[in-house]
Every structure is written in C-alpha cells, then in structure tokens.
Amino acid sequence: MSGRVIVITSGKGGVGKTTASANIGVALATTGVSVALVDMDIGLRNLDILMGLENRVVYNLVDVIEERCKLRQALVKDKRLPNLCLLPAAQTRDKTAVNADQMKTLCTELKSMFDFVIVDSPAGIESGFQNAIAGADEGVIITTPEMSAVRDADRIIGLIEARKDEIKDHRLVINRIRPQMVKTNDMMSVEDVLEILSVKLLGIVPEDEEIIISTNKGEPVSGTDNVRSGLAYRNIARRLRGEDVPFMDLDALNNTWVTKLVKFFTPVRA
C-alpha cells in the first residue's frame, strides 16, 4: 500500500491549520480509509488536544525519530474511529529535534501503513515548516479572507511550487468566511482571494462557533452531523478522494428559517 502524504500549512498562525488537520483527518477516516495524523508542531503541540487524545499520549514523534520506541507504539488510536491514528509531537523539545531527511523516512514508513497521512505543519517558514513539507506529496494551504493571511499564503504557495518535483499538487482552503460580511463588502470574497492567489480551490469553510466548542471538547466537528463547518470539511475530504463535490452555496447559509420569515413579511416593492 502506498498512501498519500498531505501537508496542511498556512504560513500565518491562527488561521486554522490544526483545526483543518483534525477535521480533514476525521472526515477522511469516516469515509472508510485509514488515516494517520502527524503533529509537526514540536514544542507547541495542539492536535492531541483537538482530538481529545492528550491523556493517551505516551510516546511521540521525536521518540520515534530518536528510536526510543517503534512507530507503532507511538501511534495513538482515535477514541471513535479505529482507522484513525495520531502521531503526537513532543512537547518538551523544539523544532531542531527533527531534520528533513528523518521526516522523509518517517513519511515513507507511514505511507506504507496508511491510505492518507495528514501532516499538521507549524506556523512560519523556518525549519519546522521545512521539515513538515519534507516528505509531502501534496499540500493543502489554509487561509482566511484577510489580507495578512492571504499574503502569507502567497509566500507559502511560492515555497511549495518551488518544490514541485516532490509536492505534485497543492490546493487552497478558505477558512472562516462570513457570507453576511462578504455580501456587505466588509470581507474579501472567495473570488477575491482566488484572484490574488490563482490556485486551485479545495474548499470553503464558513465561520462557525461550533469550532470553538468542539476544540474545547476534543471532538472535531466533521464527526458530527448538522454542523455547517463539519459538512464543509466532509466535502473537502471527498474532494481529496477524487470525488466531484459542488462548493457550498454560501448564500444558502444565510437562508435560515428566520431570514425567510423576515423576507416573507417584508412587502415587495415594484
């Protein structure tokens, strides 16, 4: 078996890399394929908390690389999905504990065990990022519709395109979009972002309070039904598997029963 190594990256911090990694991982695993989530943010690990697996971590990525344990021992199985595993980062070490060659070896080994290997990259473009993309076959760039995030995403896309021999494909996810603000021209639209970045679009994720709740609970939203951001991540996972899924109609999100009711009672003028 040779799986696909997909690195989730953004350049800017706080745009939702870790949230996207957790949700894409869960969404992919729900479709039945085997998935490994790799946290590369050594020293600032969070993915285990989002997955609700913090208390199960015994060994970590650095232990595997420094051969203190076998890879199989360090993989933490998800609470709900038996075909989903997490390889946690070390918390008491820093980015220099790993180098690019070691990451390549690790990714090759993981690829032979799983259909999908999702690597959560740290923010920045320094060694931590370089290590995270070292073994990747594909890239997913996360951005929010803000100028600063888009600028950083542009820089990252440049770095990824420079390695197109290794990273064959890269696509963009626009996160935390607020349809209402786009409508009133207070936020960049999907088209605006795509015009600047001119890159293939993988998905659009609307802003959702449920994300905050799920982060605190340690249960990614894509595992729950009836959550719009969860649906967006499930669509992303299907697109990653090669399915053709139409993009979410953001206007429809505004069309809740309350707005319909308001519209119904608003007199139509000729």
Lay out the site mask for other proteins across 46-75 (x = CB under 8 A, - = otherwise): ------xxxxxxxx------xxxxx-xxxx
Which residue(s) pair with 140 in the sheet? 8, 171
Q: Which is nearer to other proteins, 92 or 266 (CB)?
A: 92
DSSP, residue by residue, 147-159? HHHHHHHHHHHHH
Q: Is 257 left (phi over 0), alpha (psi -120 to 50) or beta?
A: alpha
User: Shortest distance, CB of residue 65 to other proteins, whole angstroms?
Assistant: 12
Q: Which is nearer to other proteins, 92 or 184 (CB)?
A: 92
Lay out the site mask for other proteins across 161-200 (x = CB under 8 A, - = otherwise): ----------------------------------------
Q: Which is nearer to other proteins, 26 or 202 (CB)?
A: 26
Q: Does 84 bind other proteins (CB under 8 A)?
A: no
Range list of H helices, the chain: 17-30, 47-50, 61-65, 71-74, 100-113, 127-134, 147-161, 179-183, 190-197, 210-217, 228-240, 250-254, 257-265
> φ and ψ at 215, to 5 degrees?
-60, -45
User: Shortest distance, CB of residue 73 to other proteins, whole angstroms?
Assistant: 5
Q: Which residues bind other proteins (CB under 8 A)?
A: 43-45, 52-59, 66-70, 72-77, 79, 91-94, 218
